[in-house]
Structure 1
């Protein structure tokens, strides 16, 4: 089914002939879907169909014909950077039919980041039983820094990134989930064994904190969680997420504030250093750690998109270094990047309003 889908779009796509630089020469890039308005995320269903979210609240299904809208998306608070955000297709989807979505939700006079679950019956064109199963504590205002990527860990739990909502000090406040990576059960409860369970005044769902606005998250081959996150004018980071760790925002950071004022420090005891940082900022979004299935030279490399400059950044080595920037018209304001079921590299361009597939 997946090869049939790819072949059908290869025949019809207007993007045939476009390429990006691979390890052994140009790699063809194929436009798989277009006409998207504010696309934010995508995920693969068994059999090869693709789900695509738009920030305004639309969910699309891409199969072997034109994309079709999936109904049943619950109430979404579309505000600033918030809306319908990530989609997670869990490993047991074929049996459970469950899908998970992160989105912004109205909270009094403000808005917060929430997690919803819904079902998609086989052959259905509408979600069933949309339920919000988690939302951060109330108190956030404005429309900035919702996060919010979803990753299913090797433990079957859900890791959810949350931005500090533009409220910098909240990232150091364990009494709020702002600026954190959360670890949740499939029912949306704090996962057993979380590091701050039982600590007075701390939120039990927090796994790590001190993050600014993580909009990329992925597991490596060993099952370790990594995130990419926005800094200010400088200091975008890639971080290896560790249980209970403090990643320092806004106390430590590289680069400068938007005003040009330097940060208090770049390092302090008890605060983690990034595995890699950009200065000036590239505004990273989406994160993929590649298996090497179709391009073995890139096995284990990290890929993230640049919203600001419109390229794919490839990172490699230990310590991580940026070794390549893959750039073309297709990578404009790149929002998400993922490895497909057959090892192809798929990416979502907000600037193009399109989903692309890159494969030799």
Structure 2
């Protein structure tokens, strides 16, 4: 035990080094010094180890941030270890990760979906951008204005084109005027490149981009349309750089949107539109969003105000530079398409519900914000609408989605050999799906949702019949009709099966179940591959709890027991009784399911 000396107030420390030691007794000093030296060395080693970790971690951040030594070596090691595929041109580099493959069953065919993740520092920024095809080249641009070529198989090659958005000045201004970090992040996210259109001319390829621009003089935000002439697109792969000074400004929205009082809805908003299309005369039609000037977020109603360009479709004559209002009364144009018959289609976001597909005619007024099929957030009315749930007095949409799907761009299937020839494909963000619209006599007679599982920002119909999607997380998805020859043979019935009536039983089962390789719908799992599969073990997400409790695999015994008496096999299952009492029919049905592999 340690001891105390009264009068001095001295307290001996309770450690092994001082155990039984009288500090006034100097005979033990060498032993104490040795023990103290050992402790000091141990603490110095710990301090050295911790300091090394801190310094290494800090230097690692500097390497990643400023690309200093040994950034290039580490990058190559990581790329090799992670299986990254590289495409390298002089001074340019593109990367892609491994792909994901899945099957998607639609009404008329099965699609193979190949998803590609664009990775890392060479990746792209989502939440904006666009795709465009010029001849046999697929050109793209991301939210930040990074231009790239896309090649089938998930290959992205960046090119040195830069468009002037004056974004750093905008972000600097926001930094000074906005305190909340989350609001500043939204300012960055919603200040972006919006769309890309290209056309081949005698002088070369014209690239036209819609994007935001920060006007320092007016201290306001504009939507700008800029044009660039490129003599040879493929020369860009050889390292040719095109700076911001090479762009020509075709149009600027008016008036500039100033920084206002919180919550800054007009300047930090995704109600910006920006989609473009060329008409048959070569004019450019561009949609300018209303930026929340809807009489509710702000008192102004820009879409009905002829002194403002917001909430309008603007026509730009690319030869003369003349501009004018083509149509008005739109909210947030997210899609624009001139179809093969010369019809101009526009898609736009509604408020809570009421996303629209509009057939655009020059001079028309589409009514926003005075009419809509949607309602205000957290409400069941739209304040301006005289008759809720109606779209009176103005041009109605051809189709509206309630609830909203977060509508984005659209394209047309223009391939006589394709089962969807002539149909419109509308992409969605919140809906995570494509929508196939079969339009006849001016109305949508069929709207088929096709779930993709990604927020789709843009899409292209390629010459080979594939559909290319550009997702908001900078993923690319290639959709191709699946080869179904072997599957079709497997699904055919023998003469004996037809005589037994198996084809009628399968037809009854197909009202809920899919018999294709593709995943089933929401009502029942696909029966392709059911033989040998774990019970309730497919990707189907809506199995009953009763079936989930059953252990084992779908073999002959389990299938016969379930098909002959579903409730007896799994009490509480949602599977209806198919009333299969004939043993020969049960044998034939199980044999049919067994060959669906």
Compute the displacement of 1:52 (Å).
Answer: 1.6
Aligned position for 1:300: 422
Query: What's 1:164 paired with?
Result: 290
Query: Secondary structure of the equivalent of 2:397?
Result: coil
Q: In structure 2, the residue corresponding to 1:232 is in which secondary structure?
A: coil
Match of 1:139 in 2: 256
The equivalent residue for 1:51 is 139
Distance 1:177 1:184 in 2: 13
Q: Identify the residue that residue 204 of structure 2 maps to in structure 1.
A: 96
Q: Which runs of 5+ in 2 are unaligned?
A: 1-86, 88-95, 168-186, 258-265, 295-300, 482-597
Distance 2:281 2:465 in 1: 23
In structure 1, distance between residues paired with 2:426 and 2:274: 15
- 1:189 equivalent in structure 2: 321
1-structure distance, mates of 2:417, 2:219: 49
Alignment of 1:206-221 (within 5 A): 206-221=325-340
Provide the C-alpha distance between the structure 2 equivalents of 1:290 and 1:53, rounded to a whole number of angstroms: 23
Is 1:240 equivalent to 2:377 in the alignment? no
Residue 86 (1) aligns with residue 195 (2): yes
Question: Residue 283 of structure 1: which of 406, 419, 423 is its match?
Answer: 406
Q: Secondary structure at the match of 2:285?
A: strand
Alpha-carbon distance between aligned partners in 2 of 1:348 and 1:104, rounded to the nearest angstrom: 20
Which digits, 9 at most, give the CA deviation of each residue in 1:135-188, with x for residues without a partner?
111232412222111111111111111111111110111111111111111157
1:116 aligns to 2:217 (yes or no): no
Moved over 6 A (4+): none
TM-score w.r.t. the length of structure 2 is 0.52
2:450 maps to which of 326, 330, 338: 326
1:14 CA drift (Å): 3.7
**The residue matched to 1:171 in structure 2 has which SS?**
helix
Q: Which residue is 2:436 aligned to?
A: 314
Give aligned pairs, total: 330
Which stretch shifts more, 176-185 or 341-350?
Answer: 341-350
Partner Cα separation in structure 2 for residue 206 and residue 328 of structure 1: 36
Relative to structure 1, is the Cα distance of residues 321 and 142 closer, same or farther in structure 2, using a 3 angstrom cutoff? Answer: farther
Higher relative contact order (CA 8 A, sep 6+): 1
Larger fraction in strand: 1
C-alpha distance 235-66 of structure 1, shift in aligned 2 (>3 A): closer
Q: Secondary structure at the match of 2:364?
A: coil
Structure 1: unaligned runs, 5 residues or longer: 1-7, 192-204
Q: Report the CA distance between 1:94 and its aligned residue.
A: 7.1
TM-align CA RMSD? 2.4
Q: Distance in 2 between matches of 1:105 and 1:267?
A: 34
Offset at residue 27 of structure 1 (A): 1.3
Q: Which residue of 2 aligns with 1:37?
A: 125
Cα distance in 1 for partners of 2:166, 2:277 equals 22
Once residues 353 and 145 of structure 2 are traced to their aligned partners in structure 1, the CA distance between those partners, rounded to angstroms, is 31
**How far apart are 1:257 and its partner, in Å?**
1.0
Structure number with bigger Rg: 2
